[in-house]
Amino acid sequence: MNANLLQTPIDYLKGVGPSRAELFRKELGIHTYQDLINFFPNRYLDKTKYYKINQLQQNSADIQVLGKIVAFRTIEQKRGKRLVADFVDETGKMELVWFRGQKWIRENLKLNIPYVIFGKTNWFNGLFSMPHPEMELLEEHEKSLRTAMQPVYPSSEKLTNKGITNRVINKLMQQLFIETKGKFYDTLPQNIHEDLKLISRAEALFNVHFPKSQELLSRAQFRLKFEELFYIQLQLLVKNMLHKKRIKGYVFDTIGDNFETFYKEHLPFKLTGAQKKVIKEIRSDLGSGAQMNRLLQGDVGSGKTIVALMSMLIALDNGFQACLMAPTEILSVQHYTGLIELCKELNTSIELLTGSTKASKRREIHEKLENGELDILIGTHALLEDKVKFKNLGLAIIDEQHRFGVEQRSKLWKKNELPSHILVMTATPIPRTLAMSLYGDLDVSVIDELPPGRRPIKTVHRFDSNRLKVFRFIRDEIEKGRQIYIVYPLIQESEKMDYKDLMDGYESVSREFPMPKYQISIVHGQMKSADKNYEMDRFINGDTQIMVATTVIEVGVNVPNASVMIIESSERFGLSQLHQLRGRVGRGAEQSYCILMSGHKLSEDSKTRLQTMVSTNDGFELAEVDLKLRGPGNLMGKQQSGILNLKIADIVKDNQILKSARDYAKRLLTEDPNLEMPEHKMVKYTYQQVAKHKNIWNYIS
């Protein structure tokens, strides 16, 4: 198939023309023949045949089955009831489910009489079910007309209003197959085809748009999903290999006094097995001669700071400087005070540079950096300014990397002739499937155990009507000498309303905990920086027992004596934010608590979030649930959500295919790193096309 033909602008396809082409470009992002071929249906209507229950497939098609209802039952749920019917044919049983209109259904549907049902099936616990099926008595059904299996394409209001219906797209697709003669070259190597028993690409593309059968549709979807994920993984792995080959890094082959003295004499507690494993991985990277490019994931409180410090000490032992960049001033100050404390017995010089560092101090820091007197610099975006020049930066550590863009990352490591090593840290656990796709070009280390002596935080969910009990509990904790956080949501769009909620909350807390017996700090985004810091310090020093705040404290306040975190309107928070807030307590040896307050009206998603928080402290488990609830786009925030606009695969549902695609891509590159073998000629060509057309795959990570 001539690849150039696929780059033909969509305007030239018979039946499109200039005004339709403009709509396709704007509404669907379809510019060329190739884009149209890759515009896949999101579901199918299959009225071609009657399926036996034992023939049902797990795919996204609506299908019809012939059988009888043999029994009804009503099942109580948290909200309302659902009506379930047992539907059977001679091969097996499935369930029909209704959440609405149950009375009418019960009265009108007959038992033991042949029906034709039509709808989408779900597979759960070894049984197929069909919610709200279309139902027709067999004798009625036989009088009506039926058509073939129909693809249903994504659409928009504008397209429908302009008369571009599903039928129109279907006709254009037929025209496209006529013009291209349906010939599409194969992009995957023979051995993968044989191993996975894949159908050809041409057959897959035809059957995804014009499925001949359920089975062929399932095989076509599998083939195209695998291919899409395979090329994403291939790109990421090649990027990682090239990075290691091309981007040479300083070789840190000495483990000297700084590291040894700290490790043997000044470690505040024994390292966990996970910390030791990660330090070993980092040491091996730093000695390899290639630039280290590693992502360190560890839950709140898992001890990433110690790992970061020990990595910096290796740089110092080899005659280099190190820096640590954090997204907020609060967090950078916290890193600074933490490291000063840890290094007080060592002969190292550490400074802090943020937006509010005074000009005279800045000049002093700039000088010391350039002449090499300064070993470690900690700060915010201020480190990226051109004025900040190091004598020899060997290691740059970036905390909470998702808050910085890729350009900022590279700006930091290019401050030297040879690039410095990079360690990226995050306390936001990223599910494995997402990490494989977003950070596939970074090596990933995980700290998955908490330091000894840390007790798991007890989390409970309480409704607003239990508030008096919660206040009583707070009183008891304050009596024991503990401190309390009470956090209110802050959602930019409704700042006035949030501010009012916060002030109302502050007043009711002040009434319950009056001065002078109790002291309360308040912190919110509209305060001046100096006032905020003053209030924070009062709480940190133990002068106030309660801190009422908006989510400004999500990252970076470390008060070991604070043992209770109360999150107001917790149903308005996402899972990762709830988990981050919970991580602000549990930092001392005492038992800590997180209380999730909410109203009685909760959506299903909110319920799931709160139940998940109560049932687990494991950030990775939470991240998996979050990914299922919110989808990959929303999980990564605005600047990265465009990354995974996949055409057919779904990284949550297809994570098994993703793992398999990554394994095959790894195997291929191990055997043929430059894709030079004759049997990989097509892979190399496709890979170059994907990279050249700046497809989604090119700006991942």
Q: Which helix (H) or strand (E) holds 623?
A: helix 619-635
Give CA–CA dist 69/110, Å, rounded. 7
Determine the average pLDDT of the residues in 286-314: 88
Q: What is the mean pLDDT of the chain?
A: 85
The single-letter code of the amino acid at 241 is: M
Task: For the beta carbon of residue 212, count every other beta carbon within 10 angstroms.
Answer: 14
Residues 297-308 have pLDDT tens digits of 887 777 888 999
Domains of the chain: 43-151 (2.40.50.140), 257-286+303-426 (3.40.50.300), 458-616 (3.40.50.300)
Q: List strands edge to edge, sheet with 393-399.
A: 350-353, 376-379, 321-325, 393-399, 421-426, 293-298, 443-447
- Structure confidence at residue 574 (pLDDT): 84
- Structure confidence at residue 46 (pLDDT): 75
Residue 638: is its pLDDT beyond 50? no
Tokens 């050249």 locate to 692
Q: Which residues contact 643 (CB under 8 A, 6 or more apart)?
A: 437, 438, 636, 696, 699, 700, 701
- Is the CA virtual torsion 20, 24, 26, 32 positive or negative? negative
- Structure confidence at residue 237 (pLDDT): 87
Give CA–CA dist 471/674, Å, rounded. 66
Q: What is the pTM of this model?
A: 0.65
- Structure confidence at residue 281 (pLDDT): 95
Q: Which of 288-302, 404-418, 561-575, 607-621 has the lowest mean pLDDT?
A: 404-418
Q: Is residue 443 classed as helix, strand or coil in its secondary structure?
A: strand
- Structure confidence at residue 699 (pLDDT): 28
Determine the average pLDDT of the residues in 179-208: 91
254, 413, 391: which is closest to 318 by C-alpha?
A: 254
For the chain, state the CA radius of gyration.
30
Q: Is residue 189 classed as helix, strand or coil in its secondary structure?
A: coil
Residues 104-157 have pLDDT tens digits of 888 888 899 999 998 888 887 788 999 988 888 888 877 665 556 788 898 888
